[in-house]
Chains A and B, each alone.
Chain A
Amino acid sequence: MANELKVPTMAELFAAGQKPEVLFWVGCAGSFDDRAKKITKAFVQLLNRAKVSFAVLGTEESCTGDPAKRSGNEFLFQMQAVTNIEVMNAYGINKIVTACPHCFNTIKNEYPGLGGHYEVVHHTQFLKTLFDDKRITLEGGQFKGKRITYHDPCYLGRANNVYEAPRDLIRKLDAELIEMKSCKEKGLCCGAGGAQMFKEPEKGDKDVNIERTEQAMETQPEIIAAGCPFCNTMMTDGVKNKEKEGAIAVMDIAELMASAGDL
C-alpha cells in the first residue's frame, strides 16, 4: 500500500538508541475519535513526506489533564501531568508538536510549573516552518479560488496568540480566505472548551456551535477550516444541523495541506 504510515514510537527509537527531532503528541481525540484520527493521519502523512524524524508515545501517552483542570479537578490534572512529565523527561524530550490546541496549551503553559519544560508548537506552526524551509512543497491547485473560512480555536488564538500560522497555510493553497464577523481576538468559541465537550450544555436559546456555524455560513464558504479536533467536531455537527454537509466541508488545516499535496 502506497500510503502506509510510518509511525515510530519513542520506545522503539529509544531501544534503537535514536532520538527524534520532535515528539508528536497525538492527544485523546486524535487517538480515539474517528473524525480526529483522520486529522492525525493527514498530519503524519505530511511528516512522512517532509522526512521529519518524529515519534509518538503511543500507549505511553495519557490525557494531558486539560478537561480535568478546566472542570476544576486540579488533583486529577496534576496526577496526569506529573505522570506524563515523568515519561517525557525519561526520554529526554525537548520539542513537542501537537494537533490539539488544548494539549498544546496545557503542555506549553501549565507543565513547566510541574517540572515539564519543552518547546511546544502547534501543528500549524510546525507545518509552516516545514513549508518555509522548503522541506515540503505543494503540488496541484485543487483549492485554487475556493472560499475557505477559518475558525480560530480559543486555546490557540486568544489563549496563546497564534493567529497567523494557520492563515498563512491557507493562503498557500491559493484559496480565498474569508474572515467571519468574529475572528482572531474576537473569535467565537465552538462551544467545546472548558470540558463542555463532555457534558450537556446549560439551558439557553441555542447551542454555541450552532451560533458559530451560522457565523461561518454567512461567509458562504465551501470549506470551514479548523485547527482543533474539538472545533472540528462542533462545526461538523453544526453544519449537519443546518443540513449543509453536502455543500460545506469542515477540514483541519493538516487535512487541507495533505490533500493539496495529493498525499
Chain B
Amino acid sequence: MEYLPNIIFLVVLIAGIGFFTKNVKRLSRNIKLGRDVDVSDNTSQRWKNMAKIALGQTKMVVRPIAGFLHIIVYVGFIIINIEVVEIILDGLLGTHRLFAPLGTVYDILIGSFEILAFLVIVAVTIFWVRRNIIRIKRFIKPEMTGWPKNDGNLILYIELVLMALFLTMNGADYQLQQMGAAHYTEAGMFPVSQFIAPLFDGMTMSSLITLERTTWWLHIIGILCFLNYLYYSKHLHILLAFPNTYYGKLAPKGQFKNLDAVTAEVKLMMDPSADPFAAPAEDEAAEPAKFGASDVMDLSWVQLLNSYTCTECGRCTDECPANQTGKKLSPRKIMMDTRDRLEEVGKNIDANKGQFVDDGKQLLDGYISREELWACTTCNACVQACPVSIDPLSIIMDMRQYLVMEESAAPTDLNNMMGNVENNGAPWPFNQMDRLNWAKEE
C-alpha cells in the first residue's frame, strides 16, 4: 500500500504521455500528406531564424503590449517546466521537494517561479480582458466564433487555474513547513504564496496536508491534460512554432516559386528543334498530378505545417488590405480552413483503415471561396505580420493556379488581361510595335 501513490502517479503519467504521443503521430501523418518540398538549403540561416523568431520572440514585440504579455507567459511556461521535473521525480520516487538540498539556489528558483506564476496570472487576466471586455477587433472576426473563440478563452482559464493551484500548493506547504510537519522540511522561498498562507490559519495539520496533496495532484494532472489539449487547440504553436520558423520562407517575399513542371513544358514549346511528337522528357517525375491546389494534398507539407502552427492571433488579417476594406478575404481564415480540412481528411483516413476515401469535398469551395481568393492583392502584409513565419499568401497563390490552369476559371477581366499579354505583350490591348511611341510624343 505504501507505494500506491507512486504507482498511480506512474499510470497517470504513462497514460498522459501515451495519449500525447498518439496525437503527435497523427499530426505528423497528416502533415506528410502534403507534397514534398526541398527545404534542406541554408541550414545556418534557418537555425538563426528559429532562434530569433521562435526562441527570441522578435516578431511578437512588433505589437508591444501583446508582445510583452506574451513573453511573460512564454517565459513562465518554460521556467515552470523546471518545476515540473521536480514534481515528476517526487511523484515517482515518493520524495518531497527533491531538489531542496540545492539550498540557496533552490530558494531562488522557487521564489522566481512564484513571481513568474503571479505575473502569468496578471498577463492572462489582461489577455482575457482584451478578448472579452475591450473586444479587440481582430478577435471578433467572423472566423472567430465557436471553438476558435472558446479555445482562446479556455487556455486562459487553464493557465489561471494551473498557476492558482501552484501557488496554493506552495502556500499550504509553507504553512506546513512553519508547523514543522514531518516530510515538509523547510525549503524554498515563497514571495507570493506567503500571502496566501494566512488564509489557511487555523487549519489542522492533516487538512493542510490534504490541501497540499490535492493541489499537488491537480497541478500535475492539469499539466498532463494541458499537454493533451494542445493537439485540439491553436496552442499547438507552443511546439510547432520552432519547426515552423525553421522551415519558413527564406527568399525575398516577392519571389513566388516557378513551377518546374511548367518550365519543362515551356522549354519544349519554345525550342524550335524539339520534336513535338517525341516521348515526354524523362524528368516526368516533376510533373504533378495537377497544377496548383484545390485540396490539402496538393499543398506542400510546409504549408500544412503552417496551418497547424497558426495561433489564430489575427495579426495577418488585421494588416490585410482586403480585409480592412470589408472584403471576405481573411488570411487567418485561409490558415484555419486549411487546418480544418486537413483534420477532416485525417479523420477520413483513420475511419477507412489508412486510405483516404473521396468524400466529395475539397478545400476549394468547401472551405475557401473563390471570392476570397480573388480579393488578394498579393501585398505580403500577412506574411510580414505573422509572428511565426506563416505564409498564407502561398496557399492563395496555389489555389489561384488551380483555378486558372485547371479550371480556366479566372474572372473575365483577368482573362482579357491574359489574352492581351499573350497577343500584345502587354496587359492592355495596345500594339507591341507602339511600345516606343512615348519617346517621340510631346
Contact = CB atoms under 8 A, between A and B. Distances in A.
Interface string B382-413: 01110000000000010111111100001101
A78 B438 CA distance: 27
B254 A159 contact: yes
A58 B439 CA distance: 9
Contact of A199 (B329, B401, B411, B433): B411
A89 interface: no
A158 B380 contact: yes
A26 B258 contact: no
Contacts of B400: 70-72
A154 interface: yes
24 contacts: A28-B427, A31-B435, A37-B438, A59-B432, A63-B421, A67-B417, A70-B397, A76-B421, A76-B422, A79-B269, A109-B251, A110-B256, A114-B263, A159-B253, A188-B324, A189-B321, A197-B427, A198-B413, A199-B417, A203-B326, A204-B327, A207-B325, A210-B325, A211-B325
A78 B258 contact: yes
Contacts, number: 218
Interface stretch (B188-196, B202-210, B369-377): B369-377
B371 A154 contact: no
Contact of B427 (A26, A63, A191): A63
Contacts of A9: 436
Q: 6 smallest A-B Cβ distances: which pairs? A: A159-B254, A205-B326, A72-B400, A194-B378, A62-B425, A109-B255
Given A71-B410, A208-B325, A78 B427 contact: no
Contact of B405 (A56, A75, A154, A191): A75
Given A67-B427, A71-B410, 11 more contacts: A30-B438, A31-B430, A33-B428, A62-B432, A74-B401, A79-B266, A186-B384, A200-B411, A200-B413, A203-B328, A208-B377
A185 interface: yes
Contacts of A109: 251-252, 254-255
A76 B223 CA distance: 54
Interface in B323-348: 324-329
B267 interface: yes
Interface string A1-16: 0000101010000000
Interface string B270-300: 1000000000000000000001100000000
Contacts of A202: 322, 327-329, 371, 374-375
B258 A113 contact: yes
A228 interface: no
B161 interface: no
A71 B378 CA distance: 10
Interface string A69-102: 1111111101110110010000000000000000
A205 B324 CA distance: 9
Contacts of B384: 158, 185-186
A189 B270 contact: no
A213 to B, nearest CB: 12
A37 B442 CA distance: 11
B426 interface: yes
Q: Which of B257, B266, B433 has the most CB of A within 10 A?
A: B266
Contacts of A206: 325-326
Contacts of A31: 426, 430, 435-438
Interface string A33-63: 1000100110010000000000010110111
B158 to A, nearest CB: 33
Nearest to B257: A113
A40 B421 CA distance: 21
A188 B414 contact: no
A189 B385 CA distance: 14
Given A72-B403, A78-B258, A199 B374 contact: yes
Contacts of B434: 32
A186 B428 CA distance: 31
B377 A189 contact: yes
A65 interface: yes
B441 interface: yes
A211 B252 contact: no
Interface of B: 251-259, 262-263, 265-267, 269-270, 291-292, 319, 321-322, 324-329, 371, 374-381, 383-385, 397, 399-405, 410-411, 413-414, 416-418, 421-422, 425-428, 430, 432-439, 441
B262 A78 contact: yes
A236 interface: no
Kindly name the residue among A26, A68, A207 whose own CB sees the greatest number of chain B CB atoms within 10 A: A68
B378 A199 contact: no
The listed residue with most A CB atoms (<10 A of its CB), out of B252, B257, B292, B430, is B252
A204 B326 contact: yes
Contacts of B428: 28, 32-33
B379 A154 contact: yes
B255 A193 contact: no
B418 A73 contact: yes
B269 A56 contact: no
A26 B324 contact: no
A201 interface: yes
A181 to B, nearest CB: 12
B377 A105 contact: no
A114 B251 CA distance: 16
A211 B413 CA distance: 23
A79 B374 CA distance: 23
A31 B431 CA distance: 11
A154 B380 contact: yes
A86 to B, nearest CB: 8
B413 A199 contact: yes
B439 A80 contact: no
Interface centre among B254, B291, B377, B437 (most CB of A within 10 A): B254
B37 to A, nearest CB: 15
A110 B426 contact: no
A4 to B, nearest CB: 10
Given A56-B436, A114-B263, A185-B384, A68 B421 contact: yes
A160 interface: yes
A75 B264 CA distance: 10
Given A72-B403, A73-B418, A158-B380, A110 B270 contact: no
A191 B327 contact: no
A194 B425 contact: no
